Amino acid sequence: MRRTKRTLWTAAATLAWVALPVTANAARDKADPLAPTGRWSANQDGQAALPPMGWNSWNAFNSDVDEDKVMASARLIVDKGLREAGYRYINIDDGWWLRRRQPDGRLVIRADKFPSAKAGSNQQTSFRPLTDRLHAMGFKAGIYSDIGRNSCGQVYTPNFANQPEGTIAEREVGLYGHIDQDIALYFREWGFDYIKVDGCGIRGLGKDSEHVRKGDYRELTPLIDMNSLARTDIPAVRSLYEQVATALRRENPDGDYLFSLCLWGSSDVRGWGKQIGNVSRTSDDITAHWSRMLTNLDTSATRALYAHPHTWNDPDMLFVGSGEFDANHMTEARSHFAMWAMMNAPLLIGFDLRKANAEQIALLGNRAIIALNQDAGGNQAVPAYLSDDVQIFVKSLANGDKAVAILNRTAAPIQPVLTTDHLKLRGEVELTDLWTGAKSRFSGETKLTLAPHQTLIYRVTGAHRLANGHYLSEAPSDVNPAEDGIATPEGDPTIHHELSPWGGSKGPGDFPQYGGWGGAQADRTPFGRPLRLMGKVYDTGIGVLANSRLEVRNRGQSRFAATVGIDDSVTARGQRVVFEVYGDGKLLARSRPVTLNEAPATIQADVRGRQIVELVARADSAPEAALPVVWGDARLTD
Ligand code: GLA
């Protein structure tokens, strides 16, 4: 059996293997997914050099959205200083559409809710007056659609306010079959700058669904099965979203648009969303519950290497202001906000700001926390310590400072210890508490006290452990797992399972959709273990599966070095892995074949003048089980 599995894969690999050192053209052999390309393949299109900030109607109003509510929120964002704090997008979510006009297919706005949209006879409506007003106020404007024929509200929410009306064809308000027409309308004619594209219409309208049986909507063979990647048509889903990306580029020649993918982590979007979108949802919807917030946080928390300028992880919008994050739960609200900032998540307020008190506005406007989210370095925080109870996340900032957040997930007080090793700093460090502004210092370690659900968050200054450069895991925004070696994607079992706000405790419980299980990680193996070679733990490095290719931006440094090997947690025994370093597509260094239980190899390369360094780990045969490998202490130095 082993032999048969090997054959196909090995044939392709062997070809490239022989050819690689010889010519660059051969190295680009399409048959070899590990062949270096010399380029950065994560998305660069659209406007999201930093995570977007703004407001969205959904968490505040559900589908009961109207012009007054949107404009009142926009005005308050100006009046309360939140626009100046960085909130720029005003986004309308589900509930704005009335119908698709027949026979020309132009979308009609619900003008009873958006009076300024009424634009004359034949149901002609336009959002241009509204987007003009928002633009004049210094905002950008966002709209919502679905990749299927029908929307989430239509498919899943029975008592939904503001459902589209009319015949079956008139109620087909989603993009399916109308991508070019709708994107042109939204962006060129109506002047929107942002679109969130949901996926319910390609998920819930199979022939056996109640809506189809009752004749509410046309059947559309589901492309997504939320509970089975094997039953999801991943290429078809991807192709539809790619068509939207193409239309967005065409309709926005100035590049001023933002494309938000809303696939809730399904469809293996982790593997391709970062090539297409500007933000991509990693989980199903957040609700105003502490437990659900933790679930959503977990789906992004170990995915720092999948977030880069112009393409960010999206654990969903903020629920600060409501439910367990309301005025009586400011500790929880602060934790939610601080963690979203650390994750480089979009900061989209989902609160009716007319109800906000001064303390809530102050939290949403906390400049010191916002500065972490909007830091020019674009590095999502990396987990330095993880447990079900307390977690420590560290974020590298552009000026060399670090930010650290210590989260108490439990309902009891807790006294964790923070060390300079967590921070990859040495000597004495100075902490600024971002809630109080208080300064303190420590060397070695310090004991902290956290109230239930509290997050302490500090900006830290100190000498870097690596003086003349950086560890790659300190700059995750510069590392892109172009191929992460996952052969069979599956849901991440480490994500917090909450008491579902949807089903409660009926049924067997909710199971995670895809959340990055087995993907490349900073300072950990792809399955979250410490990096370990021959019994020695490396607290710094990149963990990834074999048969992977990492693209690394080099910002003017001269040397790359790492200690490489097969991680001790491997279950596929008897494999050999070779590690290669490329600079702008040219082979610079190659390790000897490394096996489990032998001294790790060191690999070094002169990367002077090379913009893109690629790190390839290649197994000599197709592994029968996931094969985690380690780029230990991987670093770029002077
Ligand atoms: C889905 C999305 C939500 C929201 C609703 C609107 O559930 O995930 O964020 O847009 O649809 O119906």
The stretch 330-338 carries a mean pLDDT of 99
- In testing the pocket of ligand 1, which one of 200, 226, 295 has its CB within 8 Å of the most ligand atoms? 200
From the list 143, 237, 236, 151, the residue with the least C-alpha distance to 189 is 143
Protein residue closest via CA to atom 1 of ligand 1: 152
3-state secondary structure of 553: strand
The per-residue pLDDT of the chain, averaged, comes to 93
- In testing the pocket of ligand 1, which one of 147, 150, 224, 285 has its CB within 8 Å of the most ligand atoms? 285
The reply to whether ligand 1 has any atom less than 6 angstroms from the CB of 93 is yes
* Closest approach atom of ligand 1 to CA 153: 12
Whether residue 187 is predicted with pLDDT greater than 90 in this model: the reply is: yes
The string of pLDDT tens digits covering residues 306-315 is 999 999 999 9
Protein residue closest via CA to atom 11 of ligand 1: 152
The stretch 393-406 carries a mean pLDDT of 98
The string of pLDDT tens digits covering residues 208-253 is 999 999 999 999 999 999 988 889 999 999 999 999 999 999 999 9
Q: What is the DSSP string of 477-535?
A: GGEEEEE---SS----TTS----BTTTBTSSS--------TT--EESB-TTSPBEEETT
CA–CA separation, 282 and 477 (whole Å): 17
Residue numbers annotated as active site: 198, 285
**Contact indicator for 531, 567 with CB cutoff of 8 Å:** yes
- In testing the pocket of ligand 1, which one of 93, 195, 317 has its CB within 8 Å of the most ligand atoms? 93
Protein residue closest via CA to atom 9 of ligand 1: 285
Residue 179 φ/ψ region, left for φ over 0, alpha for ψ in the -120 to 50 degree band, beta for the rest: alpha
Protein residue closest via CA to atom 5 of ligand 1: 152
Ligand 1 center–CA 198 separation, angstroms: 7
- In testing the pocket of ligand 1, which one of 63, 144, 152, 318 has its CB within 8 Å of the most ligand atoms? 152
Cβ of 26: how many Cβ atoms within 10 Å? 15
Say if pTM beats, i.e. exceeds, 0.85.
yes
What phi and psi, each to the nearest 5 degrees, are found at residue 391? -140, 145
The stretch 604-633 carries a mean pLDDT of 95
The stretch 317-323 carries a mean pLDDT of 98
Ligand 1 center–CA 218 separation, angstroms: 21
* Closest approach atom of ligand 1 to CA 262: 8
The string of pLDDT tens digits covering residues 100-153 is 999 999 999 999 999 999 999 999 999 999 999 999 999 999 999 999 999 999
Rg value, the chain, Cα: 25
**Contact indicator for 212, 166 with CB cutoff of 8 Å:** no
Ligand 1 center–CA 325 separation, angstroms: 20
List Cβ neighbours of 399 (8 Å cut-off, separation of 6 or more): none
The reply to whether ligand 1 has any atom less than 6 angstroms from the CB of 146 is no
The reply to whether ligand 1 has any atom less than 6 angstroms from the CB of 153 is yes
The reply to whether ligand 1 has any atom less than 6 angstroms from the CB of 198 is yes
Where residue 18 falls among pLDDT bands split at 50, 70, 90? Answer: very low
Tokens 């065409």 correspond to what residue? Answer: 250
The reply to whether ligand 1 has any atom less than 6 angstroms from the CB of 262 is yes
Ligand 1 center–CA 481 separation, angstroms: 29
Q: Give CA 452 to chain center in angstroms.
A: 27
Ligand 1 center–CA 234 separation, angstroms: 20
The whole-number pLDDT of residue 574 equals 86
* Closest approach atom of ligand 1 to CA 281: 8
- In testing the pocket of ligand 1, which one of 94, 202, 348 has its CB within 8 Å of the most ligand atoms? 94
The reply to whether ligand 1 has any atom less than 6 angstroms from the CB of 261 is no
Protein residue closest via CA to atom 3 of ligand 1: 285
List Cβ neighbours of 591 (8 Å cut-off, separation of 6 or more): 564, 578, 579, 580, 601, 603
* Closest approach atom of ligand 1 to CA 93: 10
**Contact indicator for 349, 320 with CB cutoff of 8 Å:** yes
* Closest approach atom of ligand 1 to CA 160: 12
The amino acid sitting at 407 is L
**Contact indicator for 233, 139 with CB cutoff of 8 Å:** no
The reply to whether ligand 1 has any atom less than 6 angstroms from the CB of 285 is yes
The reply to whether ligand 1 has any atom less than 6 angstroms from the CB of 58 is yes
Beta strands in 546-627 (DSSP E): 548-553, 559-566, 576-583, 586-590, 594-595, 601-606, 612-619
The reply to whether ligand 1 has any atom less than 6 angstroms from the CB of 94 is yes
Q: Which run of H or E residues covers position 79?
A: helix 67-79
Where residue 2 falls among pLDDT bands split at 50, 70, 90? Answer: very low
The reply to whether ligand 1 has any atom less than 6 angstroms from the CB of 97 is no
**Choice between 25 and 259, residue whose per-residue pLDDT is larger:** 259
Where residue 30 falls among pLDDT bands split at 50, 70, 90? Answer: low
The string of pLDDT tens digits covering residues 415-470 is 999 999 999 999 999 999 999 999 999 999 999 999 999 999 999 999 999 999 99
CA atoms within 13 A on the CB side of 258: 30
